[in-house]
Homo-oligomer: A and B are copies of this chain.
């Protein structure tokens, strides 16, 4: 804990009720959704206005006290673990939707707005905010921007970065930096808002975010294709894209995942299938009808045993609930869930899946694989028990090999989960020493005392 004097300074800014110093509170903010050891912060501080937020940042810098901004702590790479102590900066009281501009198709939000709450408010006005990370029911938009959160619709609609038009953020001195605009086009100054995206809170503390909105698709059609061979399923993914159909969602569940989900949800999934693809096309009704027909044809041509189309919204929801249940279903099987995120160009999905299965056999591990096959972003999920040191060593070796394969297929370490603490040691392997040096130079320049979420991405 920081000195009483310092605690009092935070209290003077945000009020006594917004400085959380009890053991229980501090433990609540010591971990996130990554499989990493917790680190207890000295305090958790919850500003309720922009002005308070700026003052808290300034105070931290004055005292050289690290600050770790935290939305809902759903990130999977340790980005919100206060690795070097200091305070956790809670953004959940900064949760105003400042503006939804229906004429100009943008919104302005504070960082603590919950993703699903925002998407619903936007939908009420007949508009659409596409990014839909798995944690959207609780995740915050600030967290989504900090991690460049992806989701199921990335294939057609892109990810969070594709919707960030601007970010106003506090620099380390608590001064407001403005970048981006309410206009579709803006090239005024360095692209500082884009630098905030995926920066995991290391380059500034978000004050307000300008997000792009789009008109919603007029129609959609969801389908499930069942395969007795996972190769056929993954080849179907490549075939759909090669035929210039870009589904809004194109997800794969392997046999292990199907069975865990079915155990959990009793949704009636085909448990003997080696893989299923869940596919949704959207857009104009005529286009949807044609693309759905073509998708069915391509699935069958590639050897699908059966293709079922959702007949109504209820059936459609059932399909997507099954997909959304994948992670919780796998997670309840064993004490520890290592959810990986290595991503490859779409055409390499068949090779990646074969490699994951071989690695699973080699290290005698229980791996369920599911994910956004359409954008090459799979989530091989290793079910294990971290307390079993011998087993966990095999897990770590398997993860190493999964990354090596992804890179050899011209892929990347992380499609959407971030680098955080969990993956920074692999960063140089994908990039170069000069890349790390460049990033470190930027970081040191704008945060010389190293107080903005130190230790994340580039280590240090």
Residues on A lying within 8 angstroms of B by beta carbon are 101-106, 126, 147-148, 150, 154-155, 158-159, 161-162, 171, 173, 175-179, 181-192, 194-195, 197-199, 202-204, 214-215, 238, 241-242, 244-246, 283-287, 290, 343-347, 372, 375-377, 410-419, 423, 427, 430-435, 437-439, 441-446, 457-458
Whether the Cβ atoms of B418 and A187 lie closer than 8 Å is yes
User: What are 5 A-B contacts defined by CB distance under 8 Å?
Assistant: A126-B244, A179-B431, A182-B410, A183-B415, A286-B287
**Closest B residue, CB atoms, query A289:** B286
Q: Does the CB pair A171–B430 fall under 8 Å?
A: no
**Nearest chain B CB to A218's CB is how many angstroms away?**
8
Instruction: Give the residue name and chain of the B residue nearest to A446 (CB).
Output: B441
Distance A55 CA – B109 CA, assembled complex (angstroms): 46
Query: Complex formed: what's the CA distance from A427 to B290 in Å?
Result: 49
B178 and A432 form a contact (CB under 8 A): yes
Is B198 in contact with A411, judged by CB distance below 8 angstroms?
no
A185 touches B438 (CB 8 A): no
The reply to whether A434 and B104 form a contact with Cβ atoms under 8 Å apart is no
Select which of B186, B286, B372, B441 is within 8 A of A284 by beta carbon. Answer: B286
Distance between Cα atoms of A126 and B243 in the complex (Å)? 10
Contact A147:B187 (CB < 8 A) given known A215-B246, A346-B103, A432-B178: yes
List B contacts of A441 (CB < 8 A): 445-446
Q: Are B414 and A161 in contact (CB under 8 A)?
A: no
A442 to B439, Cβ gap below 8 A? no
Q: Are A177 and B345 in contact (CB under 8 A)?
A: no
Contacts of A158 in B (CB 8 A): 184
The answer to whether B101 touches A345 (Cβ under 8 A) is yes
Given A187-B198, A188-B431: A182 touches B445 (CB 8 Å cut-off): no
For A162, the closest partner residue in chain B by CB is B162
Q: A103-B345, A104-B346 are in contact. List 4 more A-B contacts (CB 8 A).
A: A177-B435, A178-B432, A181-B343, A194-B194
Are A187 and B445 in contact, CB atoms less than 8 angstroms apart? Answer: no
Q: Are B431 and A161 interface neighbours, CB within 8 A?
A: no
Find out whether the CB atom of A190 lies under 8 angstroms from the CB atom of B173. Answer: no
Q: How many whole Å from A167's CB to the nearest CB in chain B?
A: 11
A187 with B419, Cβ < 8 A, contacts A104-B347, A194-B195, A410-B182 known: yes
Q: Is the CB of B215 within 8 A of A184?
A: no
**CA–CA, A180 and B188, complex, Å:** 23
Decide: A412 near B181, CB < 8 A? Known: A187-B147, A190-B457, A192-B438.
yes
A458 lies within 8 A of B183 (CB): no
Partner of A184, one of B182, B189, B376: B376
Residues of B within 8 A of A345 (CB): 101, 103-104, 106, 182-183
Q: Are B458's CB and A190's CB within 8 A?
A: yes
C-alpha gap A344/B104 in the complex (Å): 10
CB distance from A188 to the nearest CB of B (A): 5
Bound-state Cα–Cα, A446 to B434, Å: 11
Complex interface: chain B residues within 8 A of A346 (CB): 103-105, 184
Nearest CB of chain B from residue A121's CB, rounded to whole Å? 17
Q: Name the residue on B nearest A374 (C-beta).
A: B184
